Amino acid sequence: MVLVKILGLIDLSAAVAFLMLTFGFDVAIPFLLFAGGLLLVKSFFILGGDILSVVDLFSAIILYLSVFFSLPIIFLWIPAFLLLAKGFVSFF
């Protein structure tokens, strides 16, 4: 049960990173790389049959791309909402 909450906290921290990018805050690059790395490691649960880990994989890729490129805003909103939903559900 504690593991689910820790994984949900990872989702929430990555969602905060996406929201900071969306609203134009100056986000530290190590924070983006760390959140993307956690999501990438968390996406390996797809091998166990968890379908929602695809969201983690694509979110990690988008976070890594946002370090180098200025992405369209829709590519930041969609993962932010999905990760927020996953994060909040894991606490209930």
pTM for this structure?
Answer: 0.90
The rounded radius of gyration (Å) of the Cα atoms in the chain is: 12
pLDDT digits (tens, 9 = 90+) for 31-54: 999 999 999 999 998 888 888 889
CA distance 70 to 85: 25
Residue 49 pLDDT? 83
Percent of the chain past pLDDT 70, that is, above it, reads: 100
Average pLDDT taken over every residue of the chain: 92
Domain positions in the chain are: 2-89
